[in-house]
Structure 1
Amino acid sequence: MSYSRDELDEMVRRWVVENERAEAAGDWRPLADMYTEDATYGWNYGPTQEFMAVGREEIRELALGQEMAGLEGWTYPYQEFVIDEQRGAVIGFWKQINERTRADGRHYSPEGIGGSWFRYGGDYQWSWQRDFFDFGNVSALFVDMITDNALSEGMQKRISRSVSKEPLPGWYRIGESPVPLW
């Protein structure tokens, strides 16, 4: 389904504004209102795991709640958007930047490219989102932050949760999520 370029540009503008609000509040859950009721949101996390939230409320509680917990103080400034109005597809490239700095004054931030691929569902809501990022660079950054004792208490809890043997809602072995990643 095609959409007007003006409508998609306005969606992107609204999305950026709401992301900035979420970053300032350290709470991304209100962004769920920008998804259709039946939207899906997922990403790959290395060679064995992927994440998938199905429906607006899972997106709110899992993708934007559980998975963003501990990332307070991080910002995700968008660098560029690519918009295909014929397909209602948007790709946004972002950086991930921590508020803390290294000894040389640079903010902790993974190298590589991060981004989100969206499908527009009309009425200023996304119907689908898939994130992508350089898993190796993200892992290396967290090792640096651990080594430099630069993790916030929330990040320490997040890492402890991730390495526990308790399964987390929304996490699946590759290819086993309720909705295909791609």
Structure 2
Amino acid sequence: MTELDHGKTTTGGGRWTRDELEEAFAGYQRTVEEAKRTGDWNLFADMFTEDATYIEHAYGNFAGREEIRPWIIRTMNSFPGNHMTAFPALWYTVDEDRGWVICEIDNPMCDPGDGSAHGASNLTILHYAGDGLWSCEEDVYNPMKFLKMARRWCRSAEAAGALPDEAKQWLTAVGA
């Protein structure tokens, strides 16, 4: 057994087939789409094992599904998360030996009222646990890049007369 950077151990040797990992990742993507469409981010939390680890570079680490749940609900139901329109994978790769899926996720914002496009991407590292569940997710990105993108979106929305109150409050809170 080897210790991974993400606090989990693995025996290596390809515990899951490429097909199973591909199917699990397709399920992950469908669940994220459904959570966004319905606003029910419990669906997202339920994709993780009870003892999962979520590593988020701006918000910190979350231990267990029930720590992930309130964070993802709060984050995705408030600005800027609730103004992101989708979370498509731009590309992904599967590491069968480790049971990992690594991908780049796009985070496009809705039209701020002037037709301009705003978004930023992150790398996501997923560790598969079997039965369609994930034991770890790490989102790797530059928080300053996301902050600058969201500020630009707010400035565009403001100029178009379409800046929502919660975005105004967010701008005040982040010192913009």
When the two structures are superposed, what TM-score results if normalisation uses the length of structure 1?
A: 0.75
User: Is the partner of 1:115 in helix, strand or coil?
Assistant: strand
AA partner of residue 30 (structure 1):
L
TM-score, normalisation: structure 2: 0.77
Describe the SS at the equivalent of 2:82.
coil
What residue identity is the alignment partner of 2:100? A
Name which of 99, 102, 119 aligns with 2:127.
Answer: 119
User: Equivalent residue for 2:5?
Assistant: none
Query: Match of 2:116, as an amino acid?
Result: R
SS in 2 for 1:72: helix
Q: Secondary structure at the match of 1:126?
A: strand
Task: Please point out which of 131, 149, 164 is paired with 2:139.
Answer: 131
Does the Cα contact within 8 Å between 1:27 and 1:72 map onto a contact in 2?
Answer: no
**Whole-Å Cα distance in 2 between the matches of residues 153 and 27 of structure 1?**
22
Amino acid at match of 1:106: S
| Bigger Rg, which one | 2
8 Å contact 2:102–2:123 — kept in the other structure? yes
**Cα distance in 2 between the residues matched to 1:89 and 1:96:** 21
Match of 2:60 in 1: 51
How well do the aligned residues superpose, as a CA RMSD in angstroms? 2.2
Residue 107 (str. 1) matches residue 107 (str. 2): no
Task: Verify the 8 A CA contact 1:73 1:98 in the aligned structure 2.
Answer: yes
> What is the CA distance between 1:27 and its match in structure 2?
3.2
Alpha-carbon distance between aligned partners in 1 of 2:171 and 2:61, rounded to the nearest angstrom = 19
Q: How far is 1:115 from its partner?
A: 2.0
Matched residue count: 155
Report the alpha carbon displacement of residue 151 of structure 1 after superposing the two structures with TM: 4.6
Structure 1 unmatched ranges of 5 or more: 165-182
Q: 1:135 to 1:73 in 2, by over 3 A?
A: closer
- Provide the secondary structure at the position in 2 that maps to 1:86: coil
Distance (Å, rounded) in 1 between the aligned partners of 2:99 and 2:21 = 8
CA contact (8 A) 1:28 1:68 kept: yes
Instruction: Compare relative contact order (CA 8 Å, sep 6+) and give the higher one, 1 or 2.
Output: 1
Using the alignment, how far apart are the partners of 2:142 and 2:113 within structure 1?
A: 20
1:94/1:59 CA distance change after superposition, 3 Å: same
Quote the sequence identity (%). 28
Corresponding position of 1:180:
none
Provide structure 2 residue ranges, at least 5 long, that are not aligned to the other structure: 1-11
Flag the 1:8–1:153 CA change in 2: closer, same or farther, 3 A.
farther
